[in-house]
């Protein structure tokens, strides 16, 4: 048991102990940090040939007797606590200017405060470097170090993430023992003569004792238990409370101070707290109970609880109860009407937490499969954007094909037709060729500048005009309907949904305009009724008996093949997407044990 008498020096002893000034021994190289009492310097110990950390009293406060006494007390407390997780003190002396200093091992690494900040910011590599298991293992060693101090009558009183250092090679250190309480007594430590201990020795105050005056609170309020904030008696359970607050911040990566003061938690903080394993959730809650009697009685008990979790111990009944809580929340969210993306997302999150607690829970897996199998009533914005991107790519492929498909028929049918059959009107031939080349040019421009078709399907407009001009080939009742139907279907399949009424209207106009013009007597008449027979006339060619049937047959076959291949390409894409969807459903159903698969919805079977 460490006692105040072990730390005390009378003025003569103190002068003798500190008379060996060490300016020649230590070479100052850099500043490492600064605190309320002093600053920490990186120094080189010439005698030992090693780097050390030197803590020295601030120059501005070097003459303060109380501060100097507290500084000496910190050095002796830390020096007497010989534990691997407590930085060892090497030397205690004065420099040439009379400032008191002590040297200690130089530790390398990051404070837990910095580690938590890196993890919270999602810094690259932080998650791999500091896994939850590693942090909990380090935390358990901190608990043992604090229990070691408690066993020697020392209460730290200022535990926080900034005072825990994680070394580069697995070391863990508890820093800053400047406000530690030593031996029996209340927070004021104002008993002039504490009662003798078991050995009969009466602790005495050290020279210029700087123990806290009545009503003054030492430490960091964010991590203080209620009794410490009120200036009441503190003991080992005071440090247990601070350790519980540190555990909370490690698990949630959010501020414990905000939680205890009632600051509304953001969605991320609430989700992080909900995702804490139930065993660890119970541990930090018990450690931070407002009543000291309700907390763990010692840091050792807190260590054992965390170590039990790391060893694989699980409170199965608590886990089952928590699983049911999450599943009930998921069912309630599924029953909400109307279903929104927010409620669906929350339901999936609740099921995910249930599965994280019990990966083999049949009901949780069944609900997960059902949720993933049922498409949302309103598509998420991200899905809509992906679908629009896929549609744009599909339209681009169609436009590339259309550039050739509108130019080739003109070359393959009009020019051969002009060669096989006598041309009546070169002007009409030129008109048809120009119209189809215009449609091809519209496809090329739409492919190069896709934004121009956002509001008007210009390719459909141009192709409908070209097809209407083709009525001069064989009239409005023979070849024209085939062209109109094929063209309209292809554009309806590949075009934007909002353009479909316009596409249908353009197809109808491609039929009506040539018929109307003939009925009005504008342009050549392509048909006549003679003795009960329908006689067709071509304004471009002489319809010869030996060549006309072959021309019409080839033209219709070409249109048939073109339409089927064009639409078939999109039907294949649809079938592929459906296959992927059903395959994903099948894989999801494999998550559920076979005996429970009947409860999930089966994909539709082919008739």
3-state class of 336 per DSSP? coil
Cα–Cα distance, 392 to 399 (Å, whole number): 10
CB 275 within 8 A of CB 218: no
Task: Count Cβ atoms within 10 A of the Cβ of residue 156 and give its class: 0-12 exposed, 13-18 middle, 19 or more buried.
Answer: buried
Instruction: Look up residue 546 and give its two tokens.
Output: 């030996």
Cα–Cα distance, 105 to 529 (Å, whole number): 113
Tell me the longest C-alpha to C-alpha distance in the chain.
143
CB 506 within 8 A of CB 540: no
208 with 135, same domain? yes
Cα–Cα distance, 419 to 300 (Å, whole number): 102
- Domain endpoint, select from 41, 73, 106: 106
541 with 401, same domain? yes
Cα–Cα distance, 116 to 122 (Å, whole number): 10
- Please confirm, yes or no, whether 158 is among the known catalytic residues: yes
Q: Residue 191's pLDDT is what?
A: 40
β-pairing, 164-167 vs 172-174, is antiparallel
- Domain endpoint, select from 284, 310, 336: 310
93 with 120, same domain? no
Per the domain annotation, does 388 fall within a domain? no
Sorted by sequence, the CB contacts under 8 Å of residue 111 that are 6+ apart come out as 161, 162, 163, 164, 165, 166, 175
298 with 322, same domain? no
Per the domain annotation, does 602 fall within a domain? no
169 with 297, same domain? yes
237 with 185, same domain? yes
Instruction: Look up residue 387 and give its two tokens.
Output: 């679908």
Per the domain annotation, does 586 fall within a domain? no
Q: What is the CA radius of gyration of the chain?
A: 43
Q: Residue 259's pLDDT is what?
A: 56
Domain containing residue 461:
395-581
Cα–Cα distance, 363 to 355 (Å, whole number): 10
Question: What domain count does the chain have?
Answer: 4
Residue with tokens 């197809």: 507
Q: Residue 62's pLDDT is what?
A: 62
- Domain endpoint, select from 106, 132, 154: 106
Element (H, E) at 131: none
Per the domain annotation, does 153 fall within a domain? yes
3-state class of 33 per DSSP? strand
Q: What are phi and psi of 483, to 5 degrees?
A: -65, -45
The CATH number linked to 123 is 1.10.510.10
Per the domain annotation, does 18 fall within a domain? yes
Residue 97 neighbours by CB distance under 10 Å:
10
Task: Choose, from 147, 158, 358, 361, the residue flagged as catalytic.
Answer: 158
Task: Count Cβ atoms within 10 A of the Cβ of residue 531 and give its class: 0-12 exposed, 13-18 middle, 19 or more buried.
Answer: exposed
Query: Which candidate, 421, 307, 371, places its Cα nearest to that of 591?
Result: 371
Tally of residues, the chain: 607
* Averages of pLDDT over each 10 residues, the chain, 607 residues: 54 51 79 81 92 87 74 89 93 84 92 94 90 95 96 94 92 92 56 41 34 59 90 92 95 79 50 74 92 96 93 71 84 80 83 80 80 76 76 76 73 62 70 84 85 84 86 72 82 82 90 84 73 72 71 76 76 80 74 58 51
93 with 183, same domain? no
The CATH number linked to 87 is 3.30.200.20
* Cα distance from N-terminal residue to C-terminal residue, the chain: 85
Q: Residue 112's pLDDT is what?
A: 96
CB 453 within 8 A of CB 464: no
Query: Which candidate, 559, 563, 540, places its Cα nearest to that of 469?
Result: 540
Sorted by sequence, the CB contacts under 8 Å of residue 393 that are 6+ apart come out as none
Cα–Cα distance, 88 to 75 (Å, whole number): 10
409 with 535, same domain? yes
Residue with tokens 């210009």: 458
Instruction: Look up residue 9 and give its two tokens.
Output: 């020096």
Q: Residue 532's pLDDT is what?
A: 74
- Beta strand segments in 25-69, E: 26-34, 38-45, 50-57
334 with 420, same domain? no
Cα–Cα distance, 12 to 492 (Å, whole number): 102
Per the domain annotation, does 596 fall within a domain? no
Cα–Cα distance, 346 to 329 (Å, whole number): 9
* Secondary structure (DSSP) of 76-89: HHHHH---TTBPPE
Instruction: Look up residue 214 and give its two tokens.
Output: 């009545």
- For residue range 561-588, list pLDDT tens digits in order: 877 877 777 778 778 878 887 787 777 6
Element (H, E) at 146: helix 132-151
Sorted by sequence, the CB contacts under 8 Å of residue 362 that are 6+ apart come out as 592, 593, 595, 596
Helix (H) and strand (E) counts in the chain: 23, 12
Query: Which candidate, 37, 352, 281, 303, places its Cα nearest to that of 150?
Result: 303
Per the domain annotation, does 288 fall within a domain? yes
350 with 408, same domain? no
Q: Residue 244's pLDDT is what?
A: 95
Instruction: Please report, for residues 312, 345, 361, 366, 480, the alpha-carbon distance to residue 323 in angstroms, rounded to integers and kept in the order given.
Output: 18, 18, 8, 14, 67
Per the domain annotation, does 22 fall within a domain? yes
505 with 572, same domain? yes
Cα–Cα distance, 79 to 439 (Å, whole number): 91
Query: Which candidate, 257, 363, 244, 330, places its Cα nearest to that of 292?
Result: 244
Cα–Cα distance, 243 to 253 (Å, whole number): 15
Residue 590 neighbours by CB distance under 10 Å:
10
3-state class of 170 per DSSP? coil
CB 53 within 8 A of CB 103: yes
CB 542 within 8 A of CB 422: yes
159 with 57, same domain? no
Sorted by sequence, the CB contacts under 8 Å of residue 233 that are 6+ apart come out as 186, 187, 227
- Residue 528 CA, chain-centre distance (Å), reads 73
Q: Residue 33 forms beta bridges with which residues?
A: 40
């Amino acid at each position: 048991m460490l006692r105040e008498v072990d730390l005390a020096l009378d003025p003569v002893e103190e002068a003798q102990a500190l008379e060996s000034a060490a300016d020649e021994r230590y070479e100052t190289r850099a500043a490492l940090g600064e605190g309320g009492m002093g600053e920490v310097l990186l120094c080189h110990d010439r005698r030992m040939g090693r780097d050390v950390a030197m803590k020295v009293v601030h120059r501005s406060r070097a003459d303060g007797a109380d501060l100097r006494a507290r500084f000496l007390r910190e050095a002796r407390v830390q020096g007497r606590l010989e534990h691997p997780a407590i930085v060892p003190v090497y030397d205690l002396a004065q420099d040439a200017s009379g400032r008191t200093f002590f040297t200690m091992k130089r530790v390398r690494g990051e404070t837990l405060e910095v580690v938590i900040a890196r993890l919270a910011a999602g810094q690259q590599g932080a998650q791999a470097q500091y896994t939850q298991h590693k942090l909990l293992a380090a935390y358990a060693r901190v608990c043992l170090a604090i229990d070691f101090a408690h066993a020697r009558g020392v209460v730290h009183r200022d535990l926080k993430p900034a005072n825990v250092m994680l070394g580069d090679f697995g070391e863990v250190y508890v820093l800053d023992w400047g406000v530690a309480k030593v031996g029996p007594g209340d927070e004021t430590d104002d008993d002039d003569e504490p009662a003798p201990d078991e050995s009969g020795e009466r602790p005495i105050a050290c020279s210029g004792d700087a123990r806290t005056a009545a009503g003054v609170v030492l430490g960091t309020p964010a991590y203080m238990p209620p009794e410490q904030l009120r200036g009441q008696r503190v003991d080992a359970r005071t440090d247990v409370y601070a350790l519980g607050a540190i555990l909370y911040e490690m698990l949630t990566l959010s501020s414990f101070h905000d939680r205890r003061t009632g600051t509304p938690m953001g969605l991320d903080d609430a989700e992080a707290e909900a995702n804490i394993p139930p065993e660890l959730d119970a541990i930090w809650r018990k450690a931070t109970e407002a009543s000291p009697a309700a907390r763990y009685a010692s840091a050792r008990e807190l260590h054992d609880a965390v170590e039990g979790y790391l060893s694989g111990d699980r409170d199965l009944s608590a886990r089952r109860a928590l699983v049911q809580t999450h599943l009930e929340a998921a069912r309630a969210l599924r029953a909400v009407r109307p279903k929104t993306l927010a409620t669906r997302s929350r339901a999936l999150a609740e099921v995910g937490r249930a599965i994280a607690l019990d990966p083999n829970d049949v009901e949780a897996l069944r609900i997960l499969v059902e949720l993933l199998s049922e498409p949302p009533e309103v598509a998420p914005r991200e899905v809509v954007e992906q679908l629009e991107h896929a549609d744009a790519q599909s339209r681009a492929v169609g436009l590339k094909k259309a550039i050739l498909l509108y130019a080739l028929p003109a070359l393959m049918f009009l020019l051969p037709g002009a060669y096989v059959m006598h041309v009546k009107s070169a002007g009409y031939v030129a008109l048809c060729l120009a119209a189809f080349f215009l449609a091809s040019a519209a496809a090329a421009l739409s492919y190069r500048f896709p934004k121009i078709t956002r509001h008007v399907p210009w390719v459909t407009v141009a192709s409908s005009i070209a097809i209407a001009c083709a009525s001069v080939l064989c009239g409005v009742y023979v070849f024209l309907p085939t062209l109109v139907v094929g063209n309209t279907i292809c554009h309806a399949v590949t075009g934007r949904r909002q353009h479909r009424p316009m596409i249908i209207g353009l197809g109808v106009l491609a039929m009506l305009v040539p018929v109307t013009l003939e009925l009005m007597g504008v342009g050549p008449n392509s048909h006549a009724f003679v003795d009960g027979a329908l006689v067709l006339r071509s304004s471009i060619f002489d319809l010869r008996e030996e060549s006309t049937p072959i021309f019409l047959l080839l033209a219709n076959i070409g249109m048939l093949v073109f339409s089927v291949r064009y639409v078939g390409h999109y039907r294949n894409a649809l079938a592929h997407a459906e296959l992927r969807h059903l395959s994903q459903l099948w894989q999801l159903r494999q998550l559920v044990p076979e005996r429970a698969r009947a409860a999930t919805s089966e994909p539709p079977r082919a008739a």
